Amino acid sequence: MRRLAVGLLLAHTAAYAAPVASRPLSIRELAVIADTVVIGRVAQLRPDAGTTEPGMVTRVLVDVEQVLKGAAGAAVTLVQPGGERGGVVATVGGAPSFNAGEHVLLFLTRRPDGALRVAHLYQGKFSIEPDPATGASRVVRRLPDTAEVVDALPLTDALALVRAALAAPSGEGRAP
């Protein structure tokens, strides 16, 4: 009986995990889900000292250049899982990484405590960088552990997708 229960649990879990792992959320889906969408530049990475969070987190300060959805001031602080404390480094699979000076398009949601975080781990973070062929700005989403490119498209196309999703009647911005 115990084997059957474990087998059913695994089958049930696999049924929900497969769709999540099969494809990342689209820009349109992220725009609908996000509380805030911004373009900005990473100004500072600050490991939490452990005084306000039970686990290790990193606070990422982003200077905001453009707000596409929601409310944001001149800068936003993200609270991301993982970090360093007392020489111990903790990483969280699927969590995005940031570099000071990095230009980014971010889809953000709120944590239960109200702090901002990147939506759906790495999925809500796109780096803005020059296209090697044309030099034009493009957005690039990478897997956090391998830096493999998941998708890349011109920044102008990404912004058009965000605006179209936000202009659509509620729920129509979602891809099938």
CATH of residue 108 = 2.40.50
- Give 117-133 pLDDT, tens digit per residue: 999 999 999 999 999 99
Give the whole-number percent of the chain exceeding pLDDT 90: 65
Sign of the dihedral through C-alpha 145, 150, 154, 157: negative
Domain for residue 30, yes or no? Answer: yes
Domain for residue 83, yes or no? Answer: yes
Contact 28, 173 (CB under 8 A): yes
Report the C-alpha gap between 9 and 46 in whole angstroms.
39
Number of structural domains (the chain) is 1
Domain for residue 13, yes or no? Answer: no
What are the residues whose beta carbons fall under 8 Å from the beta carbon of 90, sequence distance 6 or more?
55, 56, 82, 83, 84
Q: Taking the model in full, what pTM does it have?
A: 0.82
3-state SS assignment for residue 139: strand
Task: Give a three-class secondary structure readout of 89-107.
Answer: EECCCCCCCCCCCCEEEEE
Domain for residue 10, yes or no? Answer: no
Domain of residue 112 covers 23-167
Domain for residue 8, yes or no? Answer: no
Contact 96, 144 (CB under 8 A): yes
Report the C-alpha gap between 44 and 24 in whole angstroms.
27
- Give 81-110 pLDDT, tens digit per residue: 988 878 888 888 899 999 999 999 999 999
Q: Rounded mean pLDDT of the chain?
A: 84
Q: How far is CA 42 from the centre of its chain?
A: 14
Q: What's the confidence (pLDDT) of residue 170?
A: 67
Question: Got the DSSP string for 37-106?
Answer: EEEEEEEEEEE--SSS-SS-EEEEEEEEEEEEES---SEEEEEEE-EEETTEEE--TT-----TT-EEEE
Q: What's the confidence (pLDDT) of residue 172?
A: 53
Domain for residue 156, yes or no? Answer: yes
Domain for residue 72, yes or no? Answer: yes
Checking if the pLDDT of 48 tops 90, the result is: no
